[in-house]
Every structure is written in C-alpha cells, then in structure tokens.
C-alpha cells in the first residue's frame, strides 16, 4: 500500500502569451499593491519599465543591483531599498537571481512577492531561498518567500539568448530528475516531474531542430510550462545530491548557476541510476529513450552546453576543497551512498567533461 505526505503549496499561477500585458496590473490590484519595490537587473530594465508602465505611479523604487547566488550584502541593500520606499509589495522581473534577491527581501520583511520569470529557473514556485556569504552558499525553506502570484508569459522569453535558454531549461530538467529521489519525494511530485521533463525536452528538441533561435512560440510555451512543473516538483520533493553539489560549487567559485546545473546533471544521474530503477524507468518514459544518461548528455552538448566545469573557470585543484562540504550535506537516503571518494570522482569527471562511464560509484 502506498503511503506518503505531500505539502501542497499556496500560490496563484497566471500563464499565457501576453499575460504580463493583460493580466499583471489586475493581479497587483488583487493584492492591493500601492507602493511597489521593483527588482530587475539593468539588462531587464527596459522590459521591466515597459511592463510597469500601466501602474508606474505605484512603483515606489527600483532595485537593480542583482548578483548571482544573492550575496548577503546585496540582500541587505535590497531590504534597505524596500524599507526606504515604504514598499508594500515586491515585484521581480527576471531570472533566478532576480527572484532570489526578491525572496531575500520577503524573508525578513514579510512583504508579499509577485514574480514575472524571464528564464526557466523555476525558483519562483518554491519556498526555497539562498544567499552567499564569503564563498559559502546557505539555503533554507520558508513560506514567506513563496510568491503570492507568478505570471508566466512565453512572450518574455522570445529574446532570451539560445545559450541561456538551453542552460536554464536543462537546469529545470535537473529539478525534475532530482524530484524522483529527493528526501520528500512522493507519487505527486514524481508525476509532476515526469510531465515536466516531457515538456522541457519537447521545447529543447524544437530549439535543436531549428538550429537558429529559441523564438518559436510553441517551444517557448513548452519550456515555460515545463519550468513551472519542474519548480513545483522540486518544491514538493526537496533538494537532493545534484542541488547540494551545484549550490556548493556556485557559492564557492561563483560559477554560473544554470550552466553548472546543466553540466553536472548527467554525472549525478549516472552516479544514482544503478540504484534508482523506478526513477530511471520514469525518466526514460518521459525522454522517449532508454539510455537516459547518454540522452541528456547528448541533448546538452548538441545545444552548446560546455562539456565540463573546467570551461566555466573551475580548476582541478578546486575539487578537493569542496568534497567535504558536499558530503556533509548530502541526503542520507540518496539512492547511491554518498562517499568522499564517490563525490571526488564525480566532480573530477564533471570538471574534465569525461565519458560518463568514468563516473565512479
């Protein structure tokens, strides 16, 4: 008999092409937002300004000093901006780092958060926050950081560079794969994860087939829906070995978040696959291939993902400096027992971009 516990998370999802133009103002009205702190990078500034034009008089301040992995000093500056503006709501327009910065504000102020994602990060539907202090990334779970409303608009990803679109979508695939063996896995999160992989791979294959750009409307809709499902699966199942590795690497070496996940994913899958038969069967069903590790590796390399972490700036000497940190936080019920030697071999293979068969278990 199947028994499980699943925490359904509150939150309103608005999805559709053009939703930010037609629905965002009304969604802010529902939350009675009068003094909004807008968080968006300088790169997203023009887009965010255009989206806020219908309610510009309610934007009390804009914070643009977003940094990857949310350094604590950036979080403090964003919180200060919210206080000085007497904000009653935080609106984030951007990718995972922007959402993460907005979450840091919500964590300590309790302000409601509305998220408008422009990548496939998925963090906008999770209660997970993360901040980095002196090279060490700390994450936690708190429902105060869960956005009240997320507005998904595939039109906003039309200009997303292909390289970033691919890495971001593969990051979302990693959320799905991890959900099959993360500590709070359940039949619900597994079902959501399987469907998420199906949508994400369909979108990625459309990009690969076009060999030109990521602007196909159907592909963008698949990718964004897949990202939502991936974030939802991750929110329910929790963080497993893959995310522990990537969070440590990102905090220690300031590696680009999405690319790091995209590179590490097939190596963690290869590490766990021999002891996760049910998970691999469902991943295979979603991918439409039985050789799932090779399939994900080929999909990434075929779309231009760097072969190894060394191409992101990590050195081989860096590997030994993080092994203990990773093993200390690895889930006890990971399908394959996590050992220092196992993590070291996995990282060395991922750093070099070695054949997946060389990933020791």
Each residue's pLDDT expressed in tens, for the chain with a length of 361 residues: 478 888 889 999 999 999 999 999 999 999 999 999 999 999 999 999 999 999 999 999 999 999 999 999 999 999 999 999 999 999 999 999 999 999 999 999 999 999 999 999 899 999 999 999 988 889 999 999 999 999 999 999 998 888 889 999 999 999 999 999 999 999 999 999 999 999 999 999 998 887 555 558 899 999 999 999 999 999 999 999 999 999 999 989 999 988 999 999 999 999 999 999 999 999 999 999 999 999 999 889 888 899 999 999 999 999 999 999 999 999 999 999 999 999 999 999 999 999 765 444 4
- At residue 250's C-alpha, the angle toward residues 291 and 299, to 5°, is 25
Please state, as a whole number, how many other Cβ atoms lie within 10 Å of the Cβ of residue 218.
11
Instruction: Identify whether residues 138 and 236 lie together within a single domain.
Output: no
CA distance 258 to 79: 25
Q: How much is the pLDDT for 202? A: 94
CA distance 324 to 229: 32
Query: What is the sign of the dihedral through the CA atoms of 284, 256, 124 and 227?
Result: negative
**97 inside domain:** yes
- At residue 200's C-alpha, the angle toward residues 195 and 202, to 5°, is 95
- Picking from 157, 182, 204, the residue at the C-terminal end of a domain is 157
Q: How much is the pLDDT for 137? A: 87
Q: How much is the pLDDT for 211? A: 56
Q: What is the dihedral of CA 193, 197, 200, 202, to 10 degrees?
A: -140
Residue 128 parent element (H or E): strand 128-133
**106 inside domain:** yes
Q: How much is the pLDDT for 216? A: 85
**358 inside domain:** no
- Picking from 95, 126, 157, the residue at the C-terminal end of a domain is 157
Instruction: Identify whether residues 187 and 85 lie together within a single domain.
Output: no
Instruction: Identify whether residues 151 and 174 lie together within a single domain.
Output: no
Instruction: Identify whether residues 82 and 208 lie together within a single domain.
Output: no
Q: How much is the pLDDT for 301? A: 87
User: Measuring CA to CA, which residue among 309, 242, 297, 238 is closest to residue 271?
Assistant: 242
- Picking from 157, 183, 208, the residue at the C-terminal end of a domain is 157
Q: How much is the pLDDT for 212? A: 53
CB 39 within 8 A of CB 91: yes
**2 inside domain:** no
The boundaries of the domain holding residue 219 are 162-352
CA distance 220 to 155: 8
| Confidence (pTM) | 0.92
**Phi, psi torsion values for 360, nearest 5 degrees:** -70, 150
Instruction: Identify whether residues 143 and 279 lie together within a single domain.
Output: no
CB 227 within 8 A of CB 219: no
Structure tokens of 182?
Answer: 């993360």
Helix ranges (H only) for the chain are 19-22, 24-30, 45-52, 72-84, 96-109, 162-179, 187-210, 217-237, 241-253, 257-272, 277-287, 292-302, 318-329, 340-352
């Amino acid at each position: 008999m199947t028994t499980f516990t699943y925490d359904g998370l509150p939150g309103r999802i608005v999805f559709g092409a053009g939703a930010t133009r037609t629905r965002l103002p009304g969604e802010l009205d529902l939350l009675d937002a009068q003094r909004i702190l807008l968080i968006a990078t300088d790169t997203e500034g023009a887009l965010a300004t255009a989206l806020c034009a219908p309610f510009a008089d309610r934007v009390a301040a804009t914070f643009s000093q977003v940094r990857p992995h949310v350094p604590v000093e950036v979080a403090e500056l964003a919180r200060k901006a919210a206080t000085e503006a007497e904000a009653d709501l935080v609106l984030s327009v951007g990718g995972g780092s922007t959402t993460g910065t907005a979450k840091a504000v919500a964590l300590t102020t309790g302000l409601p958060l509305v998220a408008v994602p422009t990548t496939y990060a998925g963090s906008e539907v999770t209660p997970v926050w993360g901040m980095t202090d002196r090279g060490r990334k700390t994450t936690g779970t708190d429902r105060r950081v869960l956005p009240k409303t997320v507005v998904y608009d595939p039109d906003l990803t039309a200009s997303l560079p292909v390289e970033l679109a691919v890495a971001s979508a593969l990051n979302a695939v990693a959320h799905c794969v991890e959900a099959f063996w993360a500590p709070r896995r359940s039949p619900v999160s597994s079902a959501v994860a399987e469907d998420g992989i199906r949508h994400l791979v369909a979108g990625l294959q459309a990009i690969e087939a076009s060999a030109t750009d990521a602007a196909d409307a159907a592909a963008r809709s698949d990718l964004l829906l897949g990202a939502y499902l991936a974030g939802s699966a991750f929110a329910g199942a929790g963080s497993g070995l893959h995310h522990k590795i990537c969070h440590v690497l990102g905090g220690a070496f300031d590696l680009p978040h999405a690319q790091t996940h995209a590179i590490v994913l097939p190596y963690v899958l290869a590490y766990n696959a021999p002891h996760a038969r049910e998970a691999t069967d469902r991943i295979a069903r979603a991918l439409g291939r039985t050789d799932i590790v090779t399939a994900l590796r080929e999909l990434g390399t075929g779309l231009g993902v760097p072969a190894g972490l060394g191409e992101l700036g990590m050195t081989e000497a860096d590997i030994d400096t993080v092994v203990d940190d990773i093993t200390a936080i690895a889930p006890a019920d990971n399908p394959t027992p996590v050992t220092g030697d196992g993590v070291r071999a996995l990282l060395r293979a991922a750093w070099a971009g070695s054949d997946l068969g060389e990933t020791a278990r």
